[in-house]
Structure 1
């Protein structure tokens, strides 16, 4: 079960599809193996970049069952939904299939601190003893949660074990949360998203690792491992990957880039994004190939 000690790399997993848009469950197996072999200490499925909103409830359960059956690392399931009943139903199904916990993002209509705190209290109430992750992603949800309000939620909801930190800029938020803990507040695991763009700085500020889907999980493994013990080498490695991280982080387009790279690396059989979704042009593919070649050259020189 998920707890506050979670650390390392919880890769945000893609959802593989066949060229006709049907689920590709065989690629789920190869994808899980790919992530774990390259340093994932956990997996997060059915997130925003996992195209969760394009799946039926039956498909969601099928993906959960396949991933948990294949994985020997903890699996967190994204269960965000407009209503609490849907969150509860998918959470219970996920835990029955062997998930370690679930992840919930706030709906975009929350505006005040009291509304935010009340919403997550309701989430905790309907989930019961299910451990959960609070996804703080204001660039997508539009909901701004301050460190003070986060602490209010953590104190009121002991089943909240982790913060998925995706604020931008958000380094000061990490520092503020760790300062709260130094003053005696309950520790919370902090894993960071945003495609890994700020991972080195985030870990040095006190984050426990990464929860994002960059197509090179070994980068996140190495940066998390070296950020404190050998920061100069961590920076060299990070610099080699940064141009591709930047390219893959394009809003609304990065999913297609990520799936292209995952297919190229053998993690999934097809780069298909379920419709409606972006497609790569020949020019974009050429750009990606150039970035990969330059990345490999820089890494080989380290």
Structure 2
């Protein structure tokens, strides 16, 4: 399986971790989920991300999930290995890369405050996982409270050859993408693949600014594939037209705190997951919220025939 590199592009869907009603990993649903993503046309998958409930999994469970997915698909796999310390990060990295993963993703701990601390942390992480392991910087200040300027990202990319990708989730962040591409053009940093998160909420303009695609988990990944494909083909209106049709549901799913609950509920309604259970502690959608999601889905099915509901 090809490793990540600085030109990786397309849509890497962030997969939720399916659980049964008792909180055990539902491997049957995981198999259906992997098949669904393949049919949707994604370029790769990201496992054990923040929306994969990674902190609620043991090391052994994390490795089993990665091994199961790698046996199910030929798509390249990125694995979240963020951990409070380098030892746990290295242990998981060794196991998932040995299983065939294409790279790992590392988020900064929320204790980092200065630019030097951020760069030093990623230099240490790169040394811990090994210089030959491709890794992704997860830049999500709204969640991690760590602000990385373009100059800091450039310093990390220059200091750590294994850094090949940025998962861009700053908000607002369009100018940041432009600034990074300008730094690359000026020779101040090596090229990074930039895949964007935030549920795809700004993907229509992020791709126009120079992003290579998306790494996020919107419950209708077909939309993400469409936007990236239309933008690459130079068909701006088609990209925005399909994006606009999905925007109400995409916006609803992006609510802090309940986003994963919405995502899992929709995937259950689409017949992919048997249960929308999250491991405790985790929020549960209210009856009112479910009726609102159902309403948005009913409207979307009239605009996008691929969104069929079975539950």
Q: Scaled by the length of structure 2, what TM-score is found?
A: 0.95
Could you tell me which runs of 5 or more consecutive residues in structure 2 were left unpaired when the two chains were aligned. 306-311
Cα distance in 2 between the residues matched to 1:137 and 1:281: 27
Q: CA RMSD in A?
A: 0.9
CA shift, 1:56, in A, is 1.1
Query: 1:187 maps to which residue?
Result: 191
CA shift, 1:284, in A, is 1.1
Q: Residue 254 of structure 2 is aligned with which of 249, 254, 274?
A: 249
Query: 1:224 maps to which residue?
Result: 228
Cα distance in 2 between the residues matched to 1:283 and 1:91: 41
Cα distance in 2 between the residues matched to 1:273 and 1:71: 24
Per-residue CA deviations over 1:195-219 (Å, capped at 9, x if unaligned) read 0000011000000000000011100
Query: 1:205 maps to which residue?
Result: 209
Per-residue CA deviations over 1:145-191 (Å, capped at 9, x if unaligned) read 00001001101111011000000011111000101111123111000
Query: 1:92 maps to which residue?
Result: 94
Could you tell me which runs of 5 or more consecutive residues in structure 1 were left unpaired when the two chains were aligned. none
Query: 1:118 maps to which residue?
Result: 120
Cα distance in 2 between the residues matched to 1:179 and 1:157: 20
Range with bigger deviation, 85-94 or 223-232: 223-232
CA shift, 1:298, in A, is 3.0
Cα distance in 2 between the residues matched to 1:251 and 1:287: 16
CA shift, 1:265, in A, is 1.2
CA shift, 1:109, in A, is 0.5
Query: 1:159 maps to which residue?
Result: 162
Q: Residue 127 of structure 1 is aligned with which of 123, 126, 129?
A: 129
Cα distance in 2 between the residues matched to 1:262 and 1:32: 12
Query: 2:61 maps to which residue?
Result: 59
CA shift, 1:296, in A, is 2.0
Q: Secondary structure at the match of 1:190?
A: strand
Aligned length: 300
